[in-house]
Amino acid sequence: MRPTAYQAAMAQASRALVRAGVLADVVDVGGGFPSVYPGMVPPDMSEYLAAIDRGFAEMMVHETTELWCEPGRALVAEASSLLVKVELKKGDALYLNDGSYGSLFDAAHMKWPFPVKLLRKNGEVVEEGLKPFRFYGPTCDSVDHMPGPFYLPESVDEGDYIEIGMLGAYGVAMTTRFNGFGETDTVEVQDAPMASMYGLAKRSIPTHKPESEERKVVRFSRPKGAAGKRKRRR
């Protein structure tokens, strides 16, 4: 999330090139360009580009060396949402018709709490009375689990639909047809994403906290006897 991380990495690469005594045809700073997710508000993209520009100017490279980057997530994360159906509800666990082998790879393996929105069967959007939930996919595999937490109305029930946003980066690329699952319909829509770094929607997605959080108090007791006596310094 820190733009200066690029500049620091480029300085290390420059020192390695000097020690190796080679000239680089291409300097590829890779990816890592961020998008907006719950609790993550990245700096403006211009700050990343400025840091990379400074880092490249300080590198010991030839004037013909090319500068490359791979801004995949930053370009496409906002471009896709997933609409899933709640097949079963057990307490705070919701069983969906998609999961870690489908479009929710990052939610399962990286444990990213993507933004969610509840839609009733009649199309009504419900946003009140939020409570944390965890998701399970349709397979029998124990890794088909998305811990979240995903904050949805407590009234969410079987047959409802959930829109999971900001899935454009790896939601499509990592999808498989494991165990015969993975059938999807792709629809092009014109509404704004759940959040945006480019002015298309709000710049941040707030995180939710329980209304009442228990405070844990840890008390340390002094050992009895000589071990518990303080030593005085002379």
pTM, to two decimals:
0.77
- Is a pLDDT exceeding 70 seen at residue 213? no
* Domains defined along the chain, listed by start: 4-76 (no CATH), 80-180 (2.40.37.10)
- Is a pLDDT exceeding 50 seen at residue 214? no
CA–CA gap between residue 41 and residue 69 (Å, rounded): 21
* pLDDT-derived band at 224, boundaries 50, 70, 90: low
Longest CA–CA span in the chain (Å) reads 79
- Is a pLDDT exceeding 90 seen at residue 206? no
* pLDDT-derived band at 117, boundaries 50, 70, 90: very high
Give the three-state DSSP class for 198.
coil
Residue 80: which of 200, 204, 170 has the closest Cα? 170
- Is a pLDDT exceeding 90 seen at residue 20? yes
Q: Above pLDDT 70, what percent of the chain? A: 88
